[in-house]
Amino acid sequence: MKITKIIELTDKNFETEVFLAKKFVLVDFWADWCGPCKILSPILEEIANEYSEKVLIGKINIDTNKKIPIEYSIRGIPTLLLFNKNKIIGTKIGVLSKTELKNFLDKKLLD
């Protein structure tokens, strides 16, 4: 079994996991049928390991969780939202390379 540091987010646990987190939370809005989401997934796994002290990575499936994607006006996937406490401090839409994602996180974590 593959060990992952990425947490599964749902409509039910979103507020608890994201808003009460003690560190930054990067939320990936995705779906099983999304090709770009499948490309981004292993990159997120690597980031989850490398940034585990600073950032929690969570994934929320837009097909099985309808409330949260609507609440955040998710129109395309993959969409990444970076939260600090209960505020969005950064957004990225589409596939990013590992370098692009690290640059995005590094810049936002220093702001």
Task: Give residue-wise pLDDT tens across range 4-18.
Answer: 799 999 999 999 999
34 found inside a domain: yes
Task: Give residue-wise pLDDT tens across range 61-87.
Answer: 999 999 999 999 999 999 999 999 889
105 found inside a domain: yes
2 found inside a domain: no
Q: φ, ψ for residue 9 (rounded to 5)?
A: -100, 150
H-helix or E-strand containing 9? strand 7-9
Q: Catalytic residue among 34, 48, 77, 101, which?
A: 34
Q: Which amino acid makes up residue 77?
A: I
51 found inside a domain: yes
CATH of the domain at 18: 3.40.30.10
Q: Give catalytic status of residue 26 as yes or no.
A: no
Name all contacts of 88-95 with Cβ < 8 Å and 24+ positions apart.
89/24, 94/36, 95/36, 95/39, 95/40
46 found inside a domain: yes
> What letter would DSSP give residue 16?
I
Task: Give me the torsion for CA of 39, 102, 44, 15, rounded to 10°.
Answer: -130
Q: Which domain holds residue 64?
A: 7-110
pLDDT given for residue 43 in this prediction: 97
Q: What residues pair up with 83 in beta bridges, in sequence order?
A: 25, 88
Q: Give catalytic status of residue 37 as yes or no.
A: yes
Give the mean pLDDT of 80-106: 96
User: Helix crossing, 35-50 with 98-110: angle to 10°?
Assistant: 50
Share of the chain above pLDDT 90, in %: 92
Count of structural domains, the chain: 1
The yes-or-no verdict on residue 2 having pLDDT over 80 is no
pLDDT band at 100; cut points 50, 70, 90: very high
1 found inside a domain: no
Please tell me whether the overall predicted TM-score, pTM, comes out greater than 0.85 for this model. Answer: yes
68 found inside a domain: yes
Q: Catalytic residue among 7, 25, 37, 80, which?
A: 37
